[in-house]
């Protein structure tokens, strides 16, 4: 499938959006892949095909280590996805980054290129004519797609002069205090237990990807989290609503972009 054939767009969502299928009147579909059947939800208020994937299932039942990452990526490939927005709630590792505000990712740290089952994080499991090395010409996140998202959410998104770097920390356990102190020293600003495998596998499928995240807590010893439960609940709800508005704008108005990275194949 060429870049010009990739006419659909998609969003991968976490556990905070379980009620969207009813409110957005999404139509459930099952996409057959070599890894099994993947449920997707079609959004009909767009001029182009638009889909959502709920990474933890509906209802939420999958831990981060149980997510079928290859199956989800293969489904997006089958759907001709030309623009993917991956969302996540994240822990914040530096005090300059605000809580409860949507932010667009610029780069990621994934110290081991592995899926939770220990296998390599790749779609190229066996020798084939299609396999190759993923080469980052612009990085894991598409700049053109990130710019679209910033424009669509300009009244909601916090922008930074410096890059926002995401660290992948596989679950399902949380991080230790020593690990939380380590990640900022490696250059990370936020982290979570998901997102990175989805972005890497999408790139191997030559699908441009962008990351939209929101911080729900500080994961650093020298920064206290808000203690007023009412205030925290209100802030979480406000941030979820802001993310939903951006998601719906993306599904309604975003468009495919050119894949700028490269799969280097020996020919």
* pLDDT tens digits along 143-179: 999 999 999 999 999 988 889 999 999 999 999 989 9
Residue 180 CA to residue 42 CA, distance in Å, equals 38
Q: Which token pair is 184?
A: 């900022």
214 phi and psi, to 5 degrees?
-140, 135
Give the up-direction half-sphere exposure of residue 129: CA atoms within 13 A in the CB hemisphere.
0
Helices (H), 79-218: 143-152, 177-185, 196-204
Residue 99 contacts residue 242 (beta carbons within 8 Å): no
2 phi and psi, to 5 degrees?
-80, 165
Sequence length of the chain is 267
Residue 9 contacts residue 251 (beta carbons within 8 Å): yes
Instruction: Say what the pLDDT of residue 161 is.
Output: 84
> CA gyration radius for the chain?
18
Instruction: Say what the pLDDT of residue 229 is.
Output: 64
With CA atoms as reference, report the closest residue to 33 among 82, 70, 4: 70
Residue 3 CA to residue 6 CA, distance in Å, equals 5
Instruction: Say what the pLDDT of residue 42 is.
Output: 96
133 phi and psi, to 5 degrees?
-95, 130
Residue 211 CA to residue 96 CA, distance in Å, equals 19
Q: From residue 264, how far is each of 127, 134, 206, 261 by CA, in Å?
A: 14, 6, 12, 10
Instruction: Say what the pLDDT of residue 213 is.
Output: 96
Instruction: Say what the pLDDT of residue 1 is.
Output: 58
Residue 134 contacts residue 73 (beta carbons within 8 Å): no
Instruction: Say what the pLDDT of residue 3 is.
Output: 61
State whether residue 188 is helix, strand or coil: coil
Q: Which token pair is 88?
A: 């996540």
Residue 210 CA to residue 250 CA, distance in Å, equals 11
Sole residue written with tokens 């991080």: 175
With CA atoms as reference, report the closest residue to 213 among 151, 146, 162, 136: 146
With CA atoms as reference, report the closest residue to 86 among 168, 10, 181: 10
Instruction: Say what the pLDDT of residue 266 is.
Output: 87
With CA atoms as reference, report the closest residue to 191 among 59, 261, 53, 97: 97
Instruction: Say what the pLDDT of residue 242 is.
Output: 93
User: Which tens digit of pLDDT belongs to each residue from 44-82?
Assistant: 988 899 999 999 999 999 999 999 999 999 999 999 999
Residue 203 contacts residue 209 (beta carbons within 8 Å): yes
Instruction: Say what the pLDDT of residue 232 is.
Output: 60
Instruction: Say what the pLDDT of residue 230 is.
Output: 59
Average pLDDT along the chain: 93
pTM value is 0.94
Q: What is the mean pLDDT of each run of 10 residues along the chain (267 residues)?
A: 79 89 89 98 93 94 97 98 97 93 97 96 96 97 98 93 94 91 95 97 98 92 69 77 95 96 92
With CA atoms as reference, report the closest residue to 111 among 186, 208, 171, 55: 186
Instruction: Say what the pLDDT of residue 4 is.
Output: 64
In the chain the domains, ranked by start, together with CATH numbers, are: 3-254 (3.40.50.1580)
């Amino acid at each position: 499938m060429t870049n010009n054939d990739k006419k659909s767009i998609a969003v991968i969502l976490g556990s905070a959006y379980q009620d969207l299928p009813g409110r957005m009147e999404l139509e459930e579909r099952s996409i057959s892949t070599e890894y099994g059947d993947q449920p997707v939800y079609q959004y009909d208020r767009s001029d182009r095909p638009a889909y959502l994937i709920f990474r933890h299932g509906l209802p939420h039942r999958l831990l981060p280590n149980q997510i079928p990452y290859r199956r989800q990526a293969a489904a997006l490939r089958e759907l001709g996805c030309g623009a993917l927005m991956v969302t996540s709630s994240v822990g914040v590792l530096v005090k300059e980054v605000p809580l409860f505000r949507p932010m667009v990712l610029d780069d990621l740290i994934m110290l081991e290129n592995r899926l939770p089952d220990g296998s390599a994080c790749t779609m190229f499991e066996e020798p084939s004519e299609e396999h190759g090395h993923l080469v980052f010409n612009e990085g894991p996140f598409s700049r053109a797609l990130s710019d679209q998202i910033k424009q669509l959410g300009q009244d909601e998104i916090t922008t930074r002069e410096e890059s926002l770097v995401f660290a992948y920390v596989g679950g399902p356990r949380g991080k230790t205090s020593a690990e939380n102190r380590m990640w900022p020293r490696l250059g990370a600003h936020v982290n979570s237990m998901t997102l990175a495998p989805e972005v890497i596998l999408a790139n191997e499928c030559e699908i441009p990807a962008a990351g939209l995240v929101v911080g729900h807590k500080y994961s650093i010893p020298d920064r206290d989290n808000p203690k007023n439960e009412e205030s925290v609940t209100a802030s979480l709800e406000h941030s979820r609503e802001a993310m939903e508005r951006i998601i719906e704008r993306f599904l309604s108005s975003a468009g495919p972009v050119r894949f700028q990275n490269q799969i280097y194949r020996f020919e």
